[in-house]
Each structure stands twice: as C-alpha cells, then as structure tokens.
C-alpha cells in the first residue's frame, strides 16, 4: 500500500473513514461510502483507518469518537465530521468542498 502521507499530499482529495471494529454506528458507514464512491468516482479517494490499529494517527488527528470522516486536500485537513452522515447529505457536501 502507498504511504499515507503521500496519499494525503495528492491532488486528489482523500476522505478518511476513522472507525473501530467494536463500533456499532461504524458498521453503517461502508454502504454510505460505496454510494459516495459510485457517485463521485475518481474525484475522491476513500481510505479506511482502524483507530485501534493506528493509535498514533488517531491521537494526531484528535479522534475522540467514531465514526469520524476527515477530508484532506493536498495534505491539508479541510473538513471533518463525527457520526454517521447519510449519503444524500454527504455527497453534495463533499462536492462543494472539493
């Protein structure tokens, strides 16, 4: 897999799904992200990060609850949201941000 910092520096915006395997609401996010990917295609890259396996990253990004979505563009965090966001709300929001 590519280096995460290289992925984040890309000109393609990156949506990071911070999740935990024990988190109930996190299980609702994958179908939402599939819908986002189907709609937005190559405009956006989606990366999933398990906060329990990546504790240094979750501390760096100050993840206090899951699921949390982070949107990076050219290495800069431009948007974050905790909780489940339905696809019909998330897609227009992402299109506006990127």
Active-site amino acid positions: 23, 26
- Residue 17, judged by CB atoms within 10 A of its CB (0-12, 13-18, 19+), counts as buried
80: left (phi over 0), alpha (psi -120 to 50) or beta: beta
């Amino acid at each position: 897999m590519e280096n995460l910092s290289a992925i984040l520096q890309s000109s393609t915006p990156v949506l990071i799904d911070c999740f935990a395997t024990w988190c109930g609401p996190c299980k609702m996010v994958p179908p939402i992200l599939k819908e986002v990917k189907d709609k937005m295609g190559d405009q956006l890259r989606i990366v999933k990060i398990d906060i329990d396996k990546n504790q240094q990253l979750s501390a760096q990004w100050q993840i206090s609850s899951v699921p949390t979505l982070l949107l990076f563009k050219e290495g800069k965090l431009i948007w974050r949201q905790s909780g489940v966001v339905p696809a019909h709300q998330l897609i227009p929001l992402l299109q506006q941000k990127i």
